[in-house]
Amino acid sequence: MTRLLFTFFLIGISFSAFAQKKYTISGTIKDSATGETLIGATVRIKEMPSNGTATNSYGFYSLTAPAGNYTLLFSYVGYQTIEKPVSLHADQTIAMALNSSGSLTEVVISANRPNNDQITSPQMGVEKLNMTQVNQVPVVLGEKDILKTITLMPGVKSAGEGNTGFYVRGGAADQNLILLDEATVYNASHLFGFFSTFNSDAIKDVSIYKGGMPAEYGGRLSSVLDVKMLDGNDKDFTVQGGLGLISSRIKVEGPIEKDKGSFMISARRTYIDVFLKASKDSTIKGSSLYFYDINAKANYHFDDNNAIYLSGYFGKDVIGLKNTFGTNWGNATGTIRYNHIFNSKLFSNTSLIFSNYNYVIQSFLSDNNFKATSKINDINLKEDLQYSLSSKHTLKFGVNVLHHTIAPGDITSNSSSSFNDITVQQRYGFETAAYVSDDWKASDKLTVLYGLRLSGFFLFGPGSFNTYDAAGNVLSTSTYGSGQVAKSYLNLEPRLSSSYQLNDVSSIKLSYNRNTQNIHLLTNSTTSSPTDLYVMSSNNIKPEIADQVSTGWFRNFDDNIFEFSAEIYYKWLQNQIDYRDGAQLLVNEDVESQLVYGSGRAYGVELFLKKKYGRFNGWIGYTLSRTEDKFAAINDGNYFPATQDRTHDLSVVGIYQLTKRWSLSSTFIYQTGNAVTYPTGKYEVGGLTTFSYSERNGYREPSNNRLDIGATLEGKQHKKYHSSWTFGIYNVYGHRDPYSITFQNSKTVPNTTEALETSIFATPIPSVTWNFKF
């Protein structure tokens, strides 16, 4: 595969050497009202329909064409398409500002049909969320949620009720790389998974890559969720927010210097704890239950070619019962980004990125007093460049160095506690990567996106490192000083995606990609938890590897208003990690002795029908899939359903603009239940009760299904003020989707164990939110 990609590169570059004299148009595309850069906006030459490009993640585009007179088409979903005549006899810079589809402009507005990027792009397995639709999808308690919307896409499955974790094409929850302005978010949940860390008011763009992952991304096996924050309005000061039943939010943005720099600050907080304080029960009154988060960003453009961006996020959850226990966890990220345009062809982005995740659990009981802590710190330096070699080739290349510090866990206690103090060694590691890719328009019908990513991992001292046998017994111990390499791995990751256009409205696509992962999540829970433990690759834990092939047919209908796709994928997984039966993972000094290693496979079919425009829009997504694991020490070495296995997954989303002020929305989901392990019996020896269990994941929880509805009432439009009301009902018909199943001795039948199913939202949950902007 590597040799094939190198051959593609040489052939493609050689074709460019014999081209006639050409010139380049470059610039940025922004929102005319706010100055926000538009990611993925398209620029095409009307006279050469196959010659076009899209803005990158920073709003920059570069388009090369032979000398001549042309008409450029600038377009973006939800914005008016603009036609601009251009006489191309030298390199030019054209900065374009687009108007939203509801505003007027003096330039020529194209009546051309919506673009057909789904057909022409070689990228497959990628979905981009429209933030307007995200804000209309009904969710629990009215808090708009990007991650909940993501799980309504085919191939992306919810980890369960009350859980923001998600599975992509058979991958585990930790095999998704979640980025916020390029910084890794390790725990994207609030309140044990009922809400996500992403405040939709602060978000500009959301993309998820399920397959054919571009070479600039790496470090996870299954997907990349790339979330970009708003830059801030560089035209006017605005304030907007919302007041809901259990939470409120506010955002302030405005220019630092008009048309040159701006800022954005957004915050939200729940106030369940305020209601607790009204209780007459002193224990409840003194308890805590809330979360808050803050998004902030600022940018300044020194000139047309140089800009700096600073962004950050801080969020925290606090849950506690007075004089009994308390827990808190949170994420913090920071990004400093410098954009430089060398010339009309070469663009660079340099980033210094910080990421932190930590949790604290405390027990205040006198005989069981303890405090357990854990944290992850990342510092990442990366350089990304984009070079428009010709009208047929766009190169991307870059490097990054990422330093990890993981403190797996410490326990401290007082002298009267039954707990002993424990400190698990910190671990230090470097992840490095270099990549190159080429987006090659091989012909009017064939486009190929191919690249290579070379990834390295280095585990450093100081510390002692055990080597274990298959049974978990220590074979040897090695000690390394600070800066000494204890273990290293090097992996080559080829990436290839291609699109062949059958006609103007249909294409077939094919992709292959290999991904590796060196940060691993250890958990024996089916739901996400703040105490989930992360470890790095070591002499026992090898990098996880995934190879995925996929193919699909893509078809647009009715002037590109409807999009349909059918994709098939198969994924091979190596060096998968699971735990031994009865494993203790929390604050365990020898946690690697509790692990077993094996392989996996995932395959499926995804069907997706989407209506993008009109008074009624939405989508239907269906996935038929199978995900299986194989470990020598589990189920006699036979394949068994993975925790994330879901045979059927159906999502239906509809949004209807009833009148100018009223809009209606609804979602329906159906999903096969979780694969789980149940106890099948128990016996007593010496007064101690021991349980026997079924084969791993040998049972299924009941299937999940739910209908949610919502409505939005826009207030009357004022010159400087606007408000709206959002209403919703979550779980309209009160279906009892299982959250957990526990077992207890029957109170009515002696010597019998009975199962108890817990559902969090077993009744319809209404919500109402007042939104404002001025």
> pLDDT-based confidence at 164, cuts 50/70/90?
low
13: pLDDT strictly greater than 60: no
User: Tokens 């009760």 map to which residue?
Assistant: 689
pLDDT at 633: 84
pLDDT at 111: 34
What average pLDDT does this structure show over 437-445? Answer: 94
What average pLDDT does this structure show over 356-376? Answer: 86
Q: Is the dihedral of CA 741, 693, 581, 745 positive or negative?
A: positive
DSSP conformation letters of 272-329: HHHHHTT-SSHHHHT-EEEEEEEEEEEEEEEETTEEEEEEEEEEEEEEEETTTEEEEE
What average pLDDT does this structure show over 290-308? Answer: 96
pLDDT digits 0-9 by tens, 755-770: 777 777 778 989 999 9
106: pLDDT strictly greater than 80: no
pLDDT at 108: 39
What average pLDDT does this structure show over 91-120? Answer: 66
Q: Which of 70-84, 484-498, 723-737 has the highest mean pLDDT?
A: 484-498
Determine the Cα–Cα distance for residues 653 and 667; give it in Å rounded to an integer. 5
Helix (H) or strand (E) holding 150, with range, is helix 146-150
686: pLDDT strictly greater than 50: yes
591: pLDDT strictly greater than 50: yes
Report pTM.
Answer: 0.91
pLDDT digits 0-9 by tens, 199-212: 999 999 999 999 88
pLDDT at 698: 85
Q: Which of 33-42, 238-247, 582-591 shows the lowest mean pLDDT across its residues?
A: 582-591
Six token digits for residue 56? 């990158």
Q: Which of 19-33, 106-120, 159-173, 385-399 has the highest mean pLDDT?
A: 385-399
pLDDT digits 0-9 by tens, 189-200: 888 777 889 999
What average pLDDT does this structure show over 552-580? Answer: 93
Six token digits for residue 143? 């808090």
What average pLDDT does this structure show over 428-452? Answer: 96
What average pLDDT does this structure show over 410-429? Answer: 81
pLDDT over 70 for what percent of the chain?
91
> pLDDT-based confidence at 224, cuts 50/70/90?
very high
> pLDDT-based confidence at 105, cuts 50/70/90?
very low
Six token digits for residue 697? 């994941």
pLDDT digits 0-9 by tens, 67-81: 999 999 999 988 889
Residue type (1 letter), 242 = G
Q: Is 118 helix (H, G, I), strand (E, B) or coil?
A: helix
pLDDT at 243: 94
What average pLDDT does this structure show over 428-434? Answer: 97
CA angle in degrees (0–180, nearest 5) for 64-65-66: 140
pLDDT digits 0-9 by tens, 127-140: 888 787 788 888 77
Q: Which residue has the higher pLDDT, 105 or 735?
A: 735
Q: Which residue has the higher pLDDT, 565 or 741?
A: 565
382: pLDDT strictly greater than 80: yes
Q: Is 67 helix (H, G, I), strand (E, B) or coil?
A: coil
- Is 614 exposed, middle or buried, given 0-12, 13-18 or 19+ CB atoms closer than 10 A? exposed
pLDDT at 678: 78
6: pLDDT strictly greater than 60: no
Helix (H) or strand (E) holding 7, with range, is helix 2-16
What average pLDDT does this structure show over 662-672? Answer: 94
- Contact criterion met (CB below 8 Å) for 496 and 511: yes
Domains of the chain: 2-112 (2.60.40.1120), 228-773 (2.40.170.20)
Six token digits for residue 412? 């401290």
10: pLDDT strictly greater than 60: no
pLDDT at 530: 59
Residue type (1 letter), 146 = I
> pLDDT-based confidence at 423, cuts 50/70/90?
confident
Q: Which residue has the higher pLDDT, 265 or 532?
A: 265
Q: Which of 3-12, 58-67, 640-649 shows the lowest mean pLDDT across its residues?
A: 3-12
What average pLDDT does this structure show over 562-578? Answer: 95
Mean model confidence pLDDT for the chain? 88
pLDDT digits 0-9 by tens, 528-558: 555 678 899 999 999 999 999 999 999 999 8
pLDDT at 131: 83
Q: Is the dihedral of CA 593, 519, 625, 646 positive or negative?
A: positive
635: pLDDT strictly greater than 80: yes
pLDDT at 18: 46
